[in-house]
Amino acid sequence: MRFTCAHWTALRAATPLLFCALAALEASAVSITAERVANNLSRPIYAGSPAGDTNRLFIAEQHTGVIKILDQSTGTINPTPFLDLTGLATGNEQGLLGVAFHPDFINNGKFYVNLTVSGGDTEIREYRAGANPNVADPTSGRLVMGYDQPEQFHNGGWMGFGPSDGYLYIASGDGGEFLDPNNRALDTTDQKLGKILRIDVDGTDGPTGQYGIPVDNPFVDATGDDEIWAYGLRNPWRNGFDRETGDLYVADVGQGEREEINFQAGNSAGGENYGWRVMEGTRCANPGREFPCDDPDYTTPIHEYGHSGAPNGGFAITGGHVYRGEAMPFLDGTYFFADYVTEQIWSFRYDGATKSEFQNRTNSIHADAGTVDQISAFGEDASGEMYIVDLGGQVYKLVPLWGDTDGNGEVDIIDLNNVRNNFGGAGLGDTNLDGVVNIVDLNNVRNDFAAGPAESVPEPGALCLALTGLAGLVVLKRQRG
């Protein structure tokens, strides 16, 4: 809104500037607005964009089998779907479960879907964009890979192309039975369940001729299925590559006590064993099984949490992404994830050895419409900006609310006072976290200001008024210029 004379009057009436304070306050955290960009969807489970496509966000619906396009320039969903898949199994954990765009999609139009067909088995299919780039050619579909699913649960479904190698990674669950009684997740011979698979979609030397086997897959020329990249997973739900480092974060839904995040470095040679059905996180889930719980070959999670209520626990993890966008530089390198049941959102940084800056962000992410809950996925667009996908039918984009100095989700007279009180110093009011409260911060608050005049407070000293007036003149000059 326009910053009026009344607002300046309120600002002049605020508490005096504390330029000479000796103790600087801790830098304020920037609030995040969850800006709703799509609504009235049917069980969305994916939001993403092909590389280089900054104008479109593709959204996949689980049970309808429809992939829609959000036109980022108009903020509207295209009336004609990009693709409408039929013949899906539609149990709670079935349907259209994953989408991945070929790294060269902008030229070849190829993309891939992971779905459960009628009867419940998994198919990985390739399709191509049609003559109209906003509508796929439904007749272009070809079966890349398929495998049996014994139950309707634990289908996994995430897919993604490696940022550095261009291969397609596919996450599969263990088949859905309690404690994986057939040991599918740890079985590496003729068993694709409970795994991360890695294939070359442009190759033909695989067993069916519809895909290739990367020569550096860990079980090539060894006992085990050539497609397996990592194993020992229960139900990996929504994994994510760090587009800058190539690191892979794998969120695995637990059985009865733990939810976990596993990590694979971008330079990994593959072959990681994450331990399920023996281990659930760092907990020994099956001490009586034939495999020991202290096997040094298990790769332990970098983060886990117990089955308990908010704010520290949950019951069904939803993995996310490492933020690499430009709108919120203070979040660069931060990994986001959530719990579907307790509706908590957390983040941390991980450098390959040490986890840091872990925090619960649930109360600092403020929806501009509706409610952020039922988090089924996080999304990324071509610019690296992050989205939250709500199974209830909404997609939100995370954007900074720079002017919110106190983190309450509103920009009001309190935020103006925080800037004024620390102008020239540090602490509350440093909206862009550059270490100093200055005219940039004042402009950030001014641009987001949404409150009425402040209550009367004691008149500040002449020096403070002069400094505040000078800042105001600078702002007004910029406005008029």
When pLDDT is averaged across residues 41-54 and rounded to a whole number, the result is 98
Is residue 16 pLDDT above 80, yes or no?
no
Tell me the percentage of the chain whose pLDDT exceeds 90. 75
Q: Which residue has the higher pLDDT, 434 or 46?
A: 46
Please tell me the CATH superfamily of domain 35-399, with its number.
TolB, C-terminal domain (2.120.10.30)
Is residue 35 pLDDT above 60, yes or no?
yes
Q: Which residue has the higher pLDDT, 67 or 19?
A: 67
Q: Which residue has the higher pLDDT, 177 or 18?
A: 177
Return the pLDDT at 460: 39
Phi, psi of 105 (to 5 degrees): -55, -35
Is residue 128 pLDDT above 50, yes or no?
yes
∠ Cα 149 162 298 (to 5°): 65
Phi, psi of 32 (to 5 degrees): -120, 130
When pLDDT is averaged across residues 303-314 and rounded to a whole number, the result is 98
Return the pLDDT at 472: 46
When pLDDT is averaged across residues 372-388 and rounded to a whole number, the result is 98
For 175, counting Cβ atoms within 10 Å of its Cβ (0-12 exposed, 13-18 middle, 19+ buried), the class is buried
H/E element holding 198?
A: strand 195-199
Q: Where are the domains of the chain?
A: 5-27+406-480, 35-399
Give 391-435 pLDDT, tens digit per residue: 999 999 999 988 888 877 788 888 889 888 989 988 888 888 888
Give 425-465 pLDDT, tens digit per residue: 888 888 888 889 999 888 888 887 763 233 333 333 444 44
Return the pLDDT at 152: 94
When pLDDT is averaged across residues 31-53 and rounded to a whole number, the result is 97
Q: Which residue has the higher pLDDT, 160 or 458?
A: 160
Give the Cα separation of 291 and 34 in Å (integer).
45
Q: Where are the beta strands (DSSP E) in 283-422?
A: 283-284, 303-306, 317-318, 334-339, 345-350, 355-360, 365-367, 375-380, 386-390, 394-401
Return the pLDDT at 401: 86
- Per-chain mean pLDDT for the chain: 88
Return the pLDDT at 29: 60
Residue 268: pLDDT band (50, 70, 90) is very high
Return the pLDDT at 445: 85
Say which range, 113-122, 264-273, 445-454, has the weakest mean pLDDT: 445-454
Please report, to the nearest 10 degrees, the dihedral formed by the alpha carbons of residues 455, 458, 464, 467 taken in order. 30
Tell me the percentage of the chain whose pLDDT exceeds 70. 87
- Residue 364 DSSP one-character state: G
Return the pLDDT at 146: 97
User: Which of left, alpha, beta for 315 (phi over 0: left; psi -120 to 50: alpha)?
Assistant: alpha
pTM of the model: 0.86
Give the Cα separation of 242 and 94 in Å (integer).
27
Is residue 289 pLDDT above 90, yes or no?
no
For 13, counting Cβ atoms within 10 Å of its Cβ (0-12 exposed, 13-18 middle, 19+ buried), the class is middle
Q: Which residue has the higher pLDDT, 479 or 133?
A: 133
Single out the residue of 226, 224, 201, 219 nearest to residue 102, CA to CA. Answer: 201
Q: Which residue has the tokens 């099984």?
A: 289
When pLDDT is averaged across residues 179-195 and rounded to a whole number, the result is 95
Return the pLDDT at 26: 32
Give the Cα separation of 270 and 380 in Å (integer).
25
Is residue 108 pLDDT above 70, yes or no?
yes
